[in-house]
Amino acid sequence: MNEADRVEVAHEELDGCLVATLDGVLDSLTYGYIRDALVKLALEQPRAVVAELDNLSVGNEALLSVFSSAWMRVNDWPQVPLFLVAGDQARRSAIALSAINRFVPVFATVGEAIASVEAGAPRRRRRAVYPPVRMVSAAARDFVREACKDWQIEALTSDAVCLASELVENAIEHARTELELRLELRRGMLTVAVRDGSPAHAVLRQGRQGQPLGYGLQIVADLATTWGCAPDLHGGKVTWAVLTTGPRWFERHPEWTAPALRPWSP
C-alpha cells in the first residue's frame, strides 16, 4: 500500500483559493505525501490554500507539523498563505494552542478561512512558453529585459537575465520538455521561475575538484537570495529563484563568462 492509498487529497477552486480536502490517515508514511500535495497547490499561485481536516485521522498530534513544514516550503516563494479548517472544536483548539498556529492559522469553516485572506501586496506577473531548443535562451533573455524595463527595475536586469538564462538552459538540457518561464515582482523582490515536464528534482552538482558541472545552478545558488525546486500538479516541477538586490554576480565573479557572451553550440 502506497501513500495515495492511505490518504486522498482532492481540491477545488473557490473564490480564487484552492480548497484541499484531506481524506484518510496522517502518519509517518503519508507525511511527505500530504506536505508535497499542499506545496503543489501553492505553486499554482492561488490567493490561498485551505486544507480541510475533518476527514483526516491523526494518530499522533505531533504529525500536524506537516502543515508548518508545507508553509516553510512556500514562504519564500510563491508566498501563498496556508490555512487549516477543523470543524471539531477539540482539534481546532489543539492546533490553535500549538506552535503550528504561528504559521498556519486554523478556522472552523472554509468560509471563515477564505474571508480572512488579505488583499496582500500587488503582484506583477508575466509568463512565456517555449519549446525545448537551445535558441529559446535568447528569446527568454529578451523577455526578461522587456519586463524589467516595463516594470522600471532596470538595475536588476543583468542578474534577472542571468537567472532566466540558466534556469531555461537547465530545463532544456535535463527536462527536454516544453517549458514555461514566469516572472513575478512583489514587494521589491523579483522571482524568476521555470516550469518543465520532468519530475526530476533540480540539484546543484559538484565536479571532482569541487567545481560545478557547468555554470547552471551554481550561478543560481550564488546569485539568488533563495532558490528552490518543487513538484507541480501536472507531474513536472517548478524551479525558482528570488533575486537579490545586492551586487551583480558577474561583477563579483569576473572569472565566469556571462550567458549573453558565451558561445552557443548545438
| The predicted structure's pLDDT at residue 252 | 57
Give the model confidence (pLDDT) of 207-254 as tens digits. 444 444 445 688 888 889 899 999 999 999 999 999 865 545 456 555
- Other Cβ atoms closer than 10 A to 16: 10
Q: Does 39 score more than 50 pLDDT?
A: yes
Burial class (CB in 10 A: 0-12, 13-18, 19+), 72: middle
Q: What is the mean pLDDT of residues 115-129?
A: 87
Rounded to whole angstroms, the Cα distance separating 63 from 96 reads 15
The answer to whether the predicted template modeling score (pTM) of the entire model surpasses 0.85 is no
- Residue 69, C-alpha cell as written in the block: 513544514
Q: Which tops the pLDDT comparison, 207 or 41?
A: 41
CATH architecture of 124-261: 2-Layer Sandwich (3.30)
Q: Does 11 score more than 90 pLDDT?
A: yes
C-alpha distances in angstroms, 199 versus 33, 191, 234, 251? 15, 21, 9, 34
Q: What is the CATH number of domain 3-115?
A: 3.30.750.24
Rounded to whole angstroms, the Cα distance separating 30 from 263 reads 47
What are the DSSP calls for 132-161, one per residue? S-TTHHHHHHHHHHHHHHHTT-GGGHHHHH
Rounded to whole angstroms, the Cα distance separating 24 from 5 reads 9
Task: Name the 3-class secondary structure at 50.
Answer: strand
Q: Hey, do 3-115 and 124-261 end up sharing a CATH topology, with the first three levels equal?
A: no
- Residue 184, C-alpha cell as written in the block: 513575478
| The predicted structure's pLDDT at residue 264 | 36
Enumerate the domain spans of the chain.
3-115, 124-261
Q: Report which DSSP code applies to 11.
A: E
Q: What is the dihedral of CA 99, 242, 189, 182, to 10 degrees?
A: -110
Rg of the chain, C-alpha, whole Å: 20
Q: Report which DSSP code applies to 122.
A: -
Q: Does 260 score more than 90 pLDDT?
A: no
